Structure 1
């Protein structure tokens, strides 16, 4: 079938625009991150001052702790500082949603240009799974307390988009005959949705591990500075757990749908193809994480490491299996 080159070009422009918009969102989120560090420092200074029984000395809206030279801001100053930081948090959220709209438009235009779902090669898969991940993250991060994690999500998403747009890019074209099936959008969209939620869950576990290494109020060094604005470990662990609860059935359904398609296309439900095998390993690891998370003695960093391992296998499956290992799923479009 012919390719609409005009729509394909529009898709490419939208992809590049989404990247630039996300980059702007990253800059705003980093400003927000830095300002929230100042807010937290100010709050802790107030708490320390209250614990040491403040002695008011002089004007200018500041108190001085007896026996020290530490200037302690007033509650009004802290609130003003926090309000200024929250403006950047709100701007980040708005710019992210704009990026998501343009990002989704790129995927839709790619599909319209080829008159098929945009799942024909690795570039398109990265385009779609990053869009799903950003949508899932933006829904969760509607709450103000979660906006602080945007830099941790935007950096890997931008890295994926950059790699996809430079090293994985493939011109719009019809899919190979093996993929010309109604099962393509059903199977790949389900797996993409499960993988997107899994990425969010894995990142939450990584941040949870950072937070328990650098507990609130006792942060030290460079990594302590990075961890300071993050939510507490319980909230991060809760986000990872709830996301994994969704990942397990959605990813599992995607694997089952792929097996049904495999039986129709290749005459067998399962053949231990590299991509099938690693996908199953990822699913088993998510199941193991949820089991460990509900098991006494494992409800700590041990379970979180299993979730991080599951994320690692998904990334391994996305790049190494698609680009290096030859198998029945070798449709990356890199040749």
Structure 2
């Protein structure tokens, strides 16, 4: 079972990578289609004017397009339009882009299923819940993020463009888990043999997975918002094919508003468990400190998001900062600090 779990993780990484490439193809073909559609009417009308014998070149208003303006979202550029003349039976770029996007979603779904199978087989091999070290924790958190993304995509298919960034994060996290964090299966340390292990760690894992997913639209919002405000330098030009900034911002808030109460309960449950195991609910252990820092930052994000005078991009930066503190708590504390929570397995 342990060997099967390792093989399933490797296959899942490859599928996430293939999904990322498919999303990138959708992004590239969509941009090419948008350029072709803006250029085609101009060529046709200019050609018609020359044939008519000296008609003036039409302006941007005559062509029905905004001069010097990009479309607000990429989806509108690829939903309609016939193939260019002489294309024959070749599939139009817009259709190829949509096909690549659908393939990416299917590959992401298959990767998530194999991801879940890897967790189940790992738990069977260990004869416990697979949350005992950093490798297992990262596998579980990343699975929650991928599963939550598929749920979001089911409800909001127009946000499919975020899949490029989500699958990139999945590939990086799983590759890090496989290459850096992997340890053989061992029994739980005695301190973790408690029913609070399931209560506390399961809620931390669930909240962390949602925070992982929430960081993706937060970063995408910052990029898209900069692009909509006229910034054309890197990295803002990468956001041309992303959904509208308002949609990304609402998704960011919804995910964090759902995850924060779960994370709050996880911190409280950890304090209760610490009281039962170590005789005190709080001892300024490094992981406790960074959990509190994460809680404060995410509380600050929700407060900023609910305050009309605070700009949305400021709140989004707080969401990104919150996820950085989660990463610090997961990687930095386990690698660079010693404490009562040192169960990284490295």
The alignment status of 1:76 with 2:88, answered yes or no, reads no
Per the alignment, residue 137 of structure 1 pairs with 149
Length-normalised TM-score, structure 1: 0.87
Length-normalised TM-score, structure 2: 0.85
The alignment status of 1:32 with 2:26, answered yes or no, reads yes
The alignment status of 1:9 with 2:13, answered yes or no, reads no
Separation in structure 2 between the aligned mates of residue 315 and residue 43 of structure 1, nearest angstrom: 43
Which residue, out of 207, 223, 233, partners 2:245?
233
Per the alignment, residue 18 of structure 1 pairs with 12
Contact map agreement 1:32 1:86 (CA 8 A) in 2? yes
Contact map agreement 1:263 1:269 (CA 8 A) in 2? yes
Displacement, 1:39? 3.4
Render the CA deviation track for 1:149-189: whole Å, top value 9, x for unaligned: 11211112211111111111010111111111122122111
Per the alignment, residue 172 of structure 1 pairs with 185
Which residue, out of 294, 297, 306, partners 1:294?
306
Render the CA deviation track for 1:68-102: whole Å, top value 9, x for unaligned: 9x9x9993249943222111111111110100010
Please list, as runs of the form range in 1=range in 2, the aligned pairs for 1:321-332 lying within 5 A after superposition.
Answer: 321-332=333-344
List, as ranges, runs of 4+ consecutive aligned residues in structure 1 with deviation greater than 4 Å: 42-46, 53-56
Contact map agreement 1:219 1:228 (CA 8 A) in 2? no
Per the alignment, residue 129 of structure 2 pairs with 117
Per the alignment, residue 282 of structure 2 pairs with 270
Displacement, 1:307? 1.0
Per the alignment, residue 3 of structure 1 pairs with none
Per the alignment, residue 57 of structure 1 pairs with 48
- Structure 1 residues 116 and 83, CA gap change in structure 2 (3 angstroms): same
Render the CA deviation track for 1:136-159: whole Å, top value 9, x for unaligned: 112112333111111211112211
Render the CA deviation track for 1:94-129: whole Å, top value 9, x for unaligned: 110100010011111111011100011110001110
RMSD: 2.7
Separation in structure 2 between the aligned mates of residue 67 and residue 270 of structure 1, nearest angstrom: 70
Separation in structure 2 between the aligned mates of residue 256 and residue 224 of structure 1, nearest angstrom: 40
Q: For structure 2, list consecutive stretches of 5 or more residues without a partner in the other structure.
A: 50-55, 66-76, 85-90
Displacement, 1:45? 5.0
Separation in structure 2 between the aligned mates of residue 304 and residue 219 of structure 1, nearest angstrom: 18
Per the alignment, residue 206 of structure 1 pairs with 219
Q: Determine helix, strand or coil for the equivalent of 1:214.
A: helix
Separation in structure 1 between the aligned mates of residue 224 and residue 281 of structure 2, nearest angstrom: 43
Which residue, out of 44, 51, 58, partners 1:66?
58
Separation in structure 2 between the aligned mates of residue 157 and residue 187 of structure 1, nearest angstrom: 24
Per the alignment, residue 53 of structure 2 pairs with none
The alignment status of 1:197 with 2:189, answered yes or no, reads no
Contact map agreement 1:110 1:118 (CA 8 A) in 2? yes
Per the alignment, residue 333 of structure 1 pairs with 345
Render the CA deviation track for 1:18-62: whole Å, top value 9, x for unaligned: 11111111111111111122233345557x96xxx956729xxxx
Displacement, 1:222? 4.0
Per the alignment, residue 317 of structure 1 pairs with 329
The alignment status of 1:157 with 2:170, answered yes or no, reads yes
